[in-house]
Amino acid sequence: MPSSVSPAKRVLLVIGGGISAYKVLEAIRRLRERGVLVRCLLTKAGAEFVTPLTVGTLSAERVFFELFDLTDEHDVGHIKLARDCDLVVVAPATADLIAKMALGLANDLASTALLATDKPIVIVPAMNPTMWAHPATQANVATLQARGVVVLGPAAGAMAERGESGLGRMVEPAEIVEAVMARLIPAPGPLKGRHILVTSGPTREPIDPVRYIANHSSGKQGHAIAAAAAALGARVTLVSGPVRLPDPAGVEVVRVETARDMLKACEAALPADAAVFAAAVADWRVARDADHKIKKTGEGPPALVLVENPDILATIARGPRRPAVVVGFAAETCHVIDHAKAKLARKGCDLIVANDVSPETGVMGGDRNRIHLISTSGVESWPELSKDEVATCLVARIAKRLARGEP
């Protein structure tokens, strides 16, 4: 028996003008069998192939096709239509509709809703093979893919035009339905049911009410790791120092300032299946921070007595509630691998992500990273990647370790 969605999900289906529009009727019926609410938007050209009455009967919803509808537009109907859904599907996606989407045109209800939506979009192309292969169409499709639009098909085969065949047929209704269901009910990720703790960003150690000790960490790598873990189905707790980054979607964020605050937050977040300590924690703090701004006296700078901050990585890695997999970071400016190997043994963690953060590398605050993954098995040097790519690869490695039950 096909799986259904509970609670019910809503799809906005934009039906373009093409002979394959008749296939969409079957897709509507099958989606409704799966418990999906389908609201249809029919283009003017689409209405030449399937009627509003047929579409409305199958969807059991009102069909929309006029941009300047006095009943709808008093409530800015095209905006509500574009956002009151979980997914937007364009089928058939004609060359004209694809071009409008790529260029950001908004001269009818369909193109306006597609420009106004903030929901994921799947397009199902259908057109003559020559039109599909045209450089303009291919450029438009590439533009949409770069924006995150999913392209389903086209398939190869005979076309409606006599004697024409090739790549351009719309995929079959069953394939459309499966693609929609996969996006409405994502398959459980390999970290489903796991709790991952991640630290990110710098810490700030106060000197007085207006000054502090800190570093140049942006938090980009730690935040990317939290997002990657959430994408694989994990429940993620992100303990973050002060950063100028948006919170990763679906992640619980705990904001802290100092190293001591970060340690308390990490201990409170346990137990966890894995912990990734990507934060650049200040090694020292002043022994006693002033309760007022320290003023110049003309007798030289004040003496600052420094004391060591708690070692968060070692505390958790050697503690009684140690996660199964503990990953530390080693941000170095020289002898990167040697220092990382020593840190692996000293801290008691399973993996060390080592990188060169010398100013000329641009790693601290930048968008790219070049890491060495250190374990008791040896050193694995990765090529330069974006921080998102590093996060994806690292989290996949953690998921494999957890699945095998090894540290």
Convert 74-139 into a string of H (helix), E (strand) and C (coil). CCCHHHHHHHCCCEEEEEEECHHHHHHHHHCCCCCHHHHHHHHCCCCEEEEECCCHHHHHCHHHHH
Mean pLDDT of the region 345-352: 94
Task: List the Cα angle 405/406/407 in 5-degree steps.
Answer: 130
Which of 107-111, 205-209, 324-328 is predicted with the least confidence, judged by mean pLDDT? 107-111
Residues 6+ apart with CB under 8 A from 330: 336, 339, 340, 343, 352, 353, 354, 355, 374
pLDDT value at 246 more than 90 = no
For residue 321, name the pLDDT band (cuts at 50, 70, 90): very high
The SS3 call for residue 308 is: strand
For residue 78, name the pLDDT band (cuts at 50, 70, 90): low
Mean pLDDT of the region 355-368: 82
pLDDT at 4: 54
Q: Which residues pair with 275 in a beta bridge?
A: 197, 326
Percent of the chain with pLDDT strictly greater than 90:
67
Active-site residue 140, yes or no?
Answer: no
pLDDT at 257: 97
Which residue numbers belong to the known binding site for CTP? 283, 293, 310-313, 329, 343, 347
Mean pLDDT of the region 348-376: 88
pLDDT value at 76 more than 60 = no
Q: Are strands 306-308 and 284-286 parallel, antiparallel or unpaired?
A: antiparallel
Across the chain, mean pLDDT equals: 89
Supply the CATH classification number for the domain 195-404.
3.40.50.10300
pLDDT at 406: 63
For residue 242, name the pLDDT band (cuts at 50, 70, 90): very high
Which residue numbers belong to the known binding site? 283, 293, 310-313, 329, 343, 347
Mean pLDDT of the region 54-80: 72
CATH of 10-184, one of 3.30.70.360, 3.40.50.1950, 3.30.2020.10, 3.40.190.10: 3.40.50.1950
Find out whether 371 and 363 touch, Cβ atoms under 8 Å: no
Cα 397 from Cα 129, distance rounded (Å): 42
Mean pLDDT of the region 336-355: 93
Domain limits, the chain = 10-184, 195-404
pLDDT at 74: 44
Mean pLDDT of the region 165-171: 85
Catalytic residue among 107, 128, 140, 215: 215
Q: Which amino acid is at 266?
A: C
pLDDT at 11: 95
Q: Which amino acid is at 198?
A: V
Say what the pTM is.
0.60
Q: Do domains 10-184 and 195-404 have the same CATH topology?
A: yes
